[in-house]
Amino acid sequence: MIVASILLILVAVVLLVAGLAGGSSQLLIISIAASLLAAVALVVGARQATAGRATDRTAPRRGWPTGSRTAHGAPAREPSEGTAYGPPAQEPDIPVQHVPPTVGYGWRQPPEPPSGSDLRPRPAPGPGTDEVPVDEPDIQQVGAEEAALVAQLSTPVHVVQGRPRYHLATCPHLLDRPPSRMPVAEAVEFGFTPCARCAPVSALLADAWPS
């Protein structure tokens, strides 16, 4: 449109000169009309050029995919003017600082409280093992059904560390021996056996299922 407006201006100038030289009013009118058309064409051409520049600025650039992301998931930046197009540059990996362990350099983890497994009795007598102490009571003789019933109870009994029997609180064998308290089911699971002096199986079954 700008080229057309320039041509119309040249035509208007030629007609204007011819009309003035020949005294023709018709040529003057045509010259004025050509000038107006040239002005309109110039305005339309200027608006089209401005709209084209705005479209070029907002449109995505060729070779750079819209919505692309880097290797770390962040949106990729478009290349600035004057740089070559190509794949997006990856961000450098930040090294993780190694923190040396503190164990042995000042702070130490507090000792854990003793668990019930520390109260397990000594191994049964046999080759290569210690014998049961001579002052240890015998095992209370019970049937398989009674032993199975006692193993299901949660009634507390008393045991002595390093000794294989469990006792009632009133057992005379506990005198001068600091006992530990635990459920009878847990004592049976750890391998403790009932004391023959206080007969805990009979007492526990009588309390659990009174006749």
**What local confidence, expressed as pLDDT, does residue 124 receive?**
41
Contacts of 48 (CB under 8 A, 6+ apart): 1
**What local confidence, expressed as pLDDT, does residue 173 receive?**
92
Which long-range contacts link 124-130 to residues 24+ away (Cβ below 8 Å)?
Answer: 124/164
Q: What is the pLDDT of residues 165-194, one digit of tens each?
A: 999 999 999 998 899 999 999 999 999 999
Q: Which tokens in the block code for residue 146?
A: 């009674």
Q: Are 135 and 197 in contact (CB under 8 A)?
A: no
In sequence order, which ranges of 59-128 are alpha helices (DSSP H)? none
pTM of the model: 0.41
Q: Are 68 and 88 in contact (CB under 8 A)?
A: yes
Q: What is the pLDDT of residues 116-143, one digit of tens each?
A: 555 555 444 433 345 678 889 999 999 9
